[in-house]
Structure 1
Amino acid sequence: MTTTTDAPDTAPTRAPERSATPVRPAPEREAPRSSGTPWIVSLLVLVTGMFMSVLDVSIVNVAIPAMQKDFGVTTDDIQWVSTAYSLALGVIVPVSAWLGARLGLGRAYVISLVAFGVGSALCGLAWDINSMIVFRVLQAIPGGIIPVVALSMVYQIVPRERIGAAMGLYGLGIVFAPAVGPTLGGYLVEYVDWRLIFFINVPIGVLGAAAAIIWLPMARGARGKRFDVLGFLAIATGLFSLLLALSEGESWGWTSYPVMILITVGLLALALFVVIELEVDEPLLDVRVFRYWAFTNSLLLIAVLSVGLFGVLFFVPLFLQQTQGLGAFDTGLLLLPQAIVMGILMPVAGRIYDRFGPRWPAVIGLSILALGTWMLRDLSVDTSWTELRWILAFRAVGMGLAMMPIMTGGISAVPADRVSGASAFNNVTQRTASAMGLAALTALLGSRQAQQMSDSGAVTTMPASTGGGGPAALLTEYSMYGKVQSAAFVTALDDLMMVTAGLTVVGVVLAFFLRSGPAPASGGPAVVEA
């Protein structure tokens, strides 16, 4: 990697030339400290914050029914606890790269950890649905900043030739946290109190911030960097509109005027954002990173993986609880082995990346993921828990092998001074792809389930007593309806798994275009300088 150095003192002296364009601040560099911190220690500090912020997404979903009961609200109302968080993330993630450059990555990370802990405490103290929604928005603001800043810092502190191993550990927060969330959340909800899922973030945030102050670089930010107001308004409007349409499409109707208008506004706003970013001198996010095909391809693959990960994490627990009658904690225990498999394989995949590059771990991992998802097409009401546990663990092998090599290979293709913007796009892709994919899969599931109910000759509403036969006949009719509904749900879910498997096969093809071979050595330091 080529670096620019100052001219030697012996160079001929001449008057400096004036440039018509303003001079931009140099990329943030860290001033040396007396004792260096091994990069592995600094990485573990970043993993802690990343794990906490991502875990909060899946762990809260388990507590939604308990919150609904305590607050005494409808299903539509309680869903805004998750929807508001997603919408706020969509707005704040694009700003994260600018905040990291403005405040300095280390300072932005510490402030975000403390703010996330405060927001979590407020959520735990919420007294009604309105206060909970407001506090979830406040929690989402630092929650969206942490992943972007943390990923940027990983590429700042880790030598290029060790980035695969580092990202293998970093990936524990991205993949392992959502997978382990249902187990931890299920236990807290079922045996303690749902408010503890928020309060548990407070001590983690405090300890994480203290560790960050001690072991992370705390360089000053670029004070002269302007904020791209027009770009922010465009991308915030676009992402907010699309996420709102996808979140409410099922209840409002996918062809309803509000949803169609939101989708149209969202797409137009994102197109306007691209135009603005290509014209301004200091863009909020540098869209020119998409010139690097390796990075663009990695985002496409991350979208495929996000759909596969969060789709299964959402629908399989639904299958277990609605069709097979498992409780929240037992469902989490059944899903725990896949989380363990991913946690073990993440560092292994990182080392494989360092030696062989991203292509082959991605191809092999996505192939395993596609096969494992295809095996889920045979789910039935009588599927044994042992069989399902093994299939999910097998899928987890593919996810664990593929995720971090894909992400690492993409961001490694971007110049060092554009990593912050690339990491922001990376997180936007993860959030929007999981939301869009889940919305599309939910719509498909509902359509297929309705079709199955129609084909079976069953009504699509709960049977009501017609006055004949008495309570026993009504109970029998209700039981038969429940069986038909469960069978229709399982059949629709099987179709959904086949669609997801097909999408993953497309990812296998794209993975062949990734780089093969180890990344060139950077000669960077093995310690963090601050």
Structure 2
Amino acid sequence: MTARPDVRETELVPPPQPTTDGHRPVEPPVEAVETAEPTSPAPSGETSWVVALLVLVAGMFMSVLDISIVNVAIPVMQNDFGVTTEDISWVSTSYSLAEGVIVPASAWLGLRLGLGRAYIVAMIGFAIGSVLCGLAWDLNSMIAFRILQAIPGGVIPVVALTMLYKIVPKDRLGAAMGMYGLGIVFAPAIGPTLGGYLVEYVDWRLIFFINVPIGIVGTIAAMVWLPNFGGGTSRKFDLPGFLAIATGLFALLLGLHEAEDWGWTSYPVLILLTYGVLALALFVVIELEVDHPLLNVRVFASWPFTNSLILIAVISAGLFGVLFYIPQSLQLNQGLGAFETGLLLLPQALVMAVIMPLAGQIYDRVGARWPAVAGLIITAWGTWMLRDLTIDTSHGDLAWILGFRAAGIGLAMMPIMTGGLSALPPHRVDGASAFNTVVQRSSSAIGLAAMTALMTAQQSQGYADRASLVPADPETFGSVLGEYSMYQQLQTRVFDTAFGDLMVVTTVLTAGAVLLALMLPSGKPAPSEGPRVMEG
């Protein structure tokens, strides 16, 4: 018996059958058909795909770590550059906006260059962008270099997730996604610890230079162990669709970021948000009409996939919201340094590092539903416990609660993502990967903006409610020091109360997500004999 030759994924579509009159009908266009030249097959065998997966995890970890690690250095950058708080915030905002623009085009770039080449080019580009950021001499140069860094940073997660689904056997997807998830969830959790140490004891520029050795090693490893897959697609670039989604996401993210400073009801914010929604609606219309859509919006017809995106949005918003406000509480109310704060957050990162691979193995045995349900219940319970966080909460209790909550996130995140993507045909995974990345990035930004708005409203109400309790006569305080001390106590209590209200709202949303998790697929995934496709 001769071995069956390698075939492209789209060749698995059965040919049209002859009609009753004997004539073969014209073959309908198949959405995933490409004209790329055949290339080397994807790795087969347990060792080969595991090594390739580790290469992808390293790149994903680097690109996601950079988002959270930079936030720790923002105050130091502000002092070095001599700019205002509003101006320095553009170091993070510019990255998010540029990434939101490039992510929708990442799937097309993967097809055009070949997934392997696109990944290598993105790794090199990210390392170069990191060097430039580390060499920035003022705010304008930093913002320009952050935009350059964001372009390959947006390509890496989309291409990496698409490659993962092409090289990993279907019955091992859970375990593979558990490892892959370390880059998505573990990197943001460990970012404050690593960034805090570098900022406090070394130099803030090292948070960018640290990407260089990772990028070099990752690029060499990708050249050696990653398959290239097909490239050179002749599919036209969907320019109208790209302009619609890119400008729509840009307007939404910019409006949400500036809403706190400009005012939620200000004309610029309302115009940006309105345009963003209309542009995204136009994008859907365009993608349903063009012959070669940039992203196939028909993936949303699959309820398991759509449901998984909703759940991912809830988890991402809650994760990044807590990662933003807990350090604020520790540094502003308890006077901890950046590194001390990072050490206190380290246990939750370690818990995720342990739980996520286990969650992947559980998925391979029982499917997505039950680990997702259990994880969301734990996350909701841990978030509920955070509502009582005050300046008097011991660091040990806080670390335990955060670790408990992190166990829930680690248990739920990857089964949810894997279950959603597994419900789609293999040839739609590339576009679905882009939607996954867009949802993760935008939901964290939107969630943080909503949380900030709620916190601000609650704090304003808190100050108003307590204003009558503050003596109007400064002599009542006895001294300027006494006045300052009372103001600090008032500020801390108002922050704690507002944060508690925020955690109650987050708990309700997370608990509500449990109902959606009950609709996820259940049961052991169907086994397969190796990679899902031999060549992309």
Output the TM-score relative to the length of structure 2. 0.93
Pairs aligned (count): 521
Residue in 1 that maps onto 2:488? 482
Report the more deviating stretch, 425-434 or 474-483. Answer: 474-483
Residue in 1 that maps onto 2:367? 357
Residue 113 of structure 1: which of 123, 137, 140 is its match? 123
Residue in 2 that maps onto 1:500? 506
SS for the counterpart of 2:392 is coil
Deviation of residue 6 (structure 1)?
7.6
SS for the counterpart of 2:12 is coil
Residue 445 of structure 1: which of 425, 440, 455 is its match? 455
Residue in 1 that maps onto 2:377? 367
CA distance in 1, matches of 2:532, 2:23: 40
- Is 2:147 aligned against 1:137? yes
Residue in 2 that maps onto 1:188? 198
Residue in 1 that maps onto 2:300? 290
SS for the counterpart of 1:193 is coil
Residue in 2 that maps onto 1:333? 343
1:459/1:259 CA distance change after superposition, 3 Å: farther
SS for the counterpart of 2:527 is coil
SS for the counterpart of 1:513 is coil
CA distance in 2, matches of 1:382, 1:103: 56
Residue in 2 that maps onto 1:234? 244
- Is 2:527 aligned against 1:517? no
CA distance in 1, matches of 2:410, 2:263: 36
Deviations 1:24-47 (A, max 9, x none): 426886534899761000000000
- Is 2:466 aligned against 1:456? yes
SS for the counterpart of 1:217 is coil
Deviations 1:184-242 (A, max 9, x none): 00000000000000001011111101100000001331430110000000001110000
CA distance in 1, matches of 2:199, 2:37: 44
**8 Å contact from structure 1 (residues 28, 101) kept in 2:** no
CA distance in 2, matches of 1:133, 1:3: 45
SS for the counterpart of 1:475 is helix
SS for the counterpart of 1:501 is helix
Residue in 2 that maps onto 1:11? none
Residue in 2 that maps onto 1:90? 100
SS for the counterpart of 1:183 is helix
CA distance in 1, matches of 2:407, 2:386: 15
Deviation of residue 519 (structure 1)?
1.2
CA distance in 1, matches of 2:430, 2:180: 16
CA distance in 2, matches of 1:294, 1:408: 10
CA distance in 2, matches of 1:514, 1:101: 30
- Is 2:59 aligned against 1:53? no
CA distance in 2, matches of 1:379, 1:430: 27
- Is 2:259 aligned against 1:258? no
Give the alignment's Cα RMSD to 1 decimal: 2.6
Residue in 1 that maps onto 2:6? none
Residue in 2 that maps onto 1:4? 12
- Is 2:53 aligned against 1:43? yes
Residues 61-210 of structure 1 mapped to structure 2, 5 A cutoff: 61-210=71-220
Deviations 1:328-364 (A, max 9, x none): 0000000000000000011100000000000000000
Specify the code of the residue in structure 1 equivalent to 2:249: L
**8 Å contact from structure 1 (residues 458, 484) kept in 2:** no
CA distance in 2, matches of 1:166, 1:453: 49
Residues 393-472 of structure 1 mapped to structure 2, 5 A cutoff: 393-457=403-467
Deviation of residue 308 (structure 1)?
1.2
Residue in 1 that maps onto 2:5? none
SS for the counterpart of 1:295 is helix
CA distance in 1, matches of 2:513, 2:52: 33
Deviation of residue 478 (structure 1)?
1.6
Specify the code of the residue in structure 2 equivalent to 1:367: I
Residues 210-221 of structure 1 mapped to structure 2, 5 A cutoff: 210-221=220-231
Report the more deviating stretch, 194-203 or 25-34. Answer: 25-34
1:35/1:410 CA distance change after superposition, 3 Å: closer
SS for the counterpart of 2:229 is coil
Deviations 1:459-496 (A, max 9, x none): 99xx99x9x75997222112211110111011100100
CA distance in 2, matches of 1:328, 1:479: 23
Deviations 1:430-459 (A, max 9, x none): 011100000000000010011111111169
**8 Å contact from structure 1 (residues 217, 528) kept in 2:** no
Q: Identity percentage over the alignment?
A: 65
Deviations 1:294-322 (A, max 9, x none): 00000000001001110110010111111
CA distance in 2, matches of 1:134, 1:455: 44
Specify the code of the residue in structure 1 equivalent to 2:375: G
Deviation of residue 119 (structure 1)?
0.2
Gaps (5+ residues) in structure 1?
9-13
CA distance in 2, matches of 1:182, 1:137: 22
SS for the counterpart of 2:294 is coil
Deviation of residue 94 (structure 1)?
0.4
**8 Å contact from structure 2 (residues 170, 532) kept in 1:** no
CA distance in 1, matches of 2:319, 2:44: 41
1:4/1:34 CA distance change after superposition, 3 Å: closer
**8 Å contact from structure 2 (residues 170, 531) kept in 1:** no
1:126/1:280 CA distance change after superposition, 3 Å: same
CA distance in 1, matches of 2:25, 2:504: 63
Deviations 1:66-102 (A, max 9, x none): 1001000000000000000010011011011110111
